[in-house]
């Protein structure tokens, strides 16, 4: 049997090599017409230069070094999702991942071409898998656990000390992550005009960063809920250590099971986890939790309105490998759901997508600097490369404005603005 297997293995290798060469040619063909930069592919077969190699049009020069020819099969079968997985496997590396992401976003038509052909087969399989990650009460707990229960110590490696896993608010590129994160928390509190004695409900505790800040600096009472057991455990400990047990009530409940009415409401980058079909239920619950004169603020990652339907029908790298069950809403989709399901009015909206790019850059720099510490925690190279790709993938998207992040200030019918209007300027100092 050994003698028979040897020539068969050799034949398989020849066949695989032929297939890889063919798929390499198809990828190069698909990338013809690359603009606004250049991409150099370097592999065992040589070097291919694509796009504007020189001149003013070359906004980015990216070198892609292919370490394993199976990269071409991964892209052919699963498009950009396959490329991300191949990066995690070490089959290719790049001199600047963020520049690569930006270049691909600028050439979206070519990127869409990559998702065609055989990749449609992989795409159909991924859509079927994603459909099984429905955000029912049970499904939501499973999906949240897959991301947020990776380990509190892991997230602490790259987040700021307040453990806010959401966009900070930068007013100057030289801001530190800590300063920008605190500025974001203050911006939310000021937009809500929080005052001592306010009863606030928060949907999506995270690790307690907002609840602690609002209770400590604004004197309000915060009821906050999460369905992540890891987050609940650490948030509970942080609240106790801060001596704020009397001002913060921490729940381990699905937001759909909350009751009561509150003066103010906050939900920071939680809407992305609910699933598109539950948008009306989400906004209905927001409206029900607020008093007739209540005000709420939603911080949400957003996608361009004209791309929402396409994105909803597809499974990208994040849905498949990072955050199962997630989606990115568009502003129009959220406003339509809000109008359908509640009496809330949008009274203020602010986009600060560039701040998210800077936040992600800070996270990625810290993440790379703590790589050995993450390995010591038990995470393998493939997992860490997957996260490196994820952070760069998102940073490039925000820099190119294919995704954004917004504050939506929502008011009940009896709510009225203060003398300064509905929202204090985002950079206003805390009193």
- Tens of pLDDT, residue by residue over 58-71, are 567 899 999 999 99
Is 359 in contact with 394 (CB distance < 8 Å)? no
Q: What is the pLDDT of residue 12?
A: 47
Which domains does the chain carry?
18-130 (3.30.1050), 137-411 (3.40.50.150)
Using one digit for the tens of pLDDT, what is the confidence trace for 142-152? 555 555 557 89
Question: Within a 10 A sphere around the Cβ of 32, how many other Cβ atoms?
Answer: 10
Band the pLDDT of 4: cuts 50, 70, 90. very low
Work out the percent of the chain whose per-residue pLDDT is above 70.
84
**314-317 long-range CB contacts below 8 Å, 24 or more apart?**
314/115, 314/123, 314/127, 315/81, 315/123, 315/126, 315/127, 315/129, 315/130, 316/80, 316/81, 317/80, 317/81, 317/84, 317/389, 317/390, 317/393
Give the residue numbers marked as catalytic. 394
Per DSSP, the three-state class of 38 is strand
| pTM: predicted TM-score of the whole model, two decimal places | 0.88
Using one digit for the tens of pLDDT, what is the confidence trace for 236-253? 999 999 999 999 999 999
**Mean local confidence (pLDDT), 283-297:** 98
User: Which has more confidence, 326 or 130?
Assistant: 326
* Structure tokens belonging to residue 247: 């001002």
Q: Answer left, alpha or beta for residue 55, where phi above 0 means left and psi between -120 and 50 means alpha.
A: left
Using one digit for the tens of pLDDT, what is the confidence trace for 27-61? 998 888 899 899 999 999 999 999 976 554 456 78
Q: Which residues, in sequence order, are bridge partners of residue 411?
A: 295, 345
Backbone angles phi, psi at 170, to 5 degrees: -100, 135
Using one digit for the tens of pLDDT, what is the confidence trace for 303-337? 999 999 988 888 788 887 787 777 899 999 999 99
Is 304 in contact with 397 (CB distance < 8 Å)? no
Q: What is the pLDDT of residue 404?
A: 97
Alpha helices in 132-167 (DSSP H): 137-148, 152-156
Q: Provide the b/e sequence for 320-338 (b: ≥16 CB within 10 Å).
A: bbbbbbbbbbbbebbbebb
Looking at the predicted structure, is the pLDDT value of residue 118 above 80? no
């Amino acid at each position: 049997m050994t003698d028979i297997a040897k020539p068969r293995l050799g034949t398989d290798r020849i066949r695989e090599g032929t297939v890889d060469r063919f798929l390499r040619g198809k990828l190069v063909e698909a990338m013809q017409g690359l603009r606004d930069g250049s991409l150099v592919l370097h592999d065992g077969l040589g070097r291919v230069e694509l796009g504007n190699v020189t001149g003013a049009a070359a906004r980015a020069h990216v070198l892609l070094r292919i370490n394993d020819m199976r990269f071409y099969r991964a892209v052919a079968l699963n498009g950009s999702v396959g490329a991300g997985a191949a990066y995690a496997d070490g089959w290719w590396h790049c001199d600047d991942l963020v520049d690569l992401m930006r270049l691909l976003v600028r050439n979206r038509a070519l990127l869409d071409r990559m998702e065609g052909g055989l990749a449609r087969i992989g795409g159909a399989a991924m859509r079927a898998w994603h459909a099984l990650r429905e955000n029912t009460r049970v499904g939501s707990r499973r999906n949240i656990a897959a991301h947020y229960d990776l380990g509190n110590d892991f997230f602490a490696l790259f987040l700021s000390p307040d453990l806010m896993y959401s966009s900070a608010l930068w007013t100057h590129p030289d801001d530190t992550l800590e300063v920008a994160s605190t500025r974001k928390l203050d911006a939310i509190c000021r937009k809500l005009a929080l005052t001592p004695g306010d009863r606030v409900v928060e949907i999506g505790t995270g690790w307690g960063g907002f609840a602690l800040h609002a209770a400590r600096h604004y004197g309000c009472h915060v009821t906050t809920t999460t369905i992540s057991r890891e987050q609940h455990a650490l948030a509970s400990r942080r609240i106790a250590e801060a001596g704020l047990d009397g001002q913060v009530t921490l729940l381990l409940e699905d937001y759909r099971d909350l009751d009561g009415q509150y003066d103010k409401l906050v939900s920071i980058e939680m809407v992305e986890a609910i699933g598109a079909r539950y948008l009306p239920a989400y906004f209905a619950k927001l409206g029900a939790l607020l008093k007739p004169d209540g005000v709420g603020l939603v911080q949400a990652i957003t996608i361009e309105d004209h791309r929402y339907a396409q994105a909803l029908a597809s499974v990208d790298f994040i849905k498949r490998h990072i955050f199962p069950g997630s989606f990115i809403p568009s502003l129009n989709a959220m406003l339509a759901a809000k109008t359908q399901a509640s009496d809330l009015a949008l009274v203020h909206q602010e986009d600060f997508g560039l701040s998210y790019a800077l936040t992600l850059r800070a996270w990625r720099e810290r993440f790379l600097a703590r790589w050995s510490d993450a390995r010591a925690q038990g995470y393998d190279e493939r997992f860490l490369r997957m996260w490196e790709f994820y952070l760069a993938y998102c940073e490039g998207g925000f820099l190119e404005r294919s995704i954004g992040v917004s504050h939506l200030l929502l008011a009940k019918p009896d709510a009225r603005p203060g003398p300064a209007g509905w929202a204090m300027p985002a950079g206003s100092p805390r009193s």
